[in-house]
Amino acid sequence: LEARVHTWTVRVSGLRRTAALVARRVFPADWQAPMRARAVHVIGGARRRPYLATARALERWCARERLDRLAARVLMLAAEHD
């Protein structure tokens, strides 16, 4: 769902504004302002079409069906806002 919101926001508001929203969510603390500014600069400077194509690819990507092929133990973690 998160990736779909980003692609919708890019289409409606543009990449620079979406970058600002994403950066604010990823780096919310005041002391993270330089990281937030960098994220806005990098994401906001990306070309729209490749950004949207990457977001759509990440929406579809899932490795769960291949986990049984791993020889080592796997610890899967998830956060509230993954």
Compute the residue count for the chain. Answer: 82
CA atoms within 13 A on the CB side of 65: 3
In degrees to the nearest 10, what's the CA dihedral of 35, 19, 50, 12?
180
81 confidence band (pLDDT: 50, 70, 90): low
Other C-beta atoms closer than 10 Å to the C-beta of 14 total 12
Separation CA 26–CA 71 (nearest Å): 33
Tens digits of per-residue pLDDT, 14-50? 889 989 988 998 899 999 999 999 999 998 999 989 9
The answer, as to whether pTM is greater than 0.95, is no
Q: Give the contacts of 46 (CB within 8 A, at least 6 positions apart).
A: 15
pLDDT at 29: 95
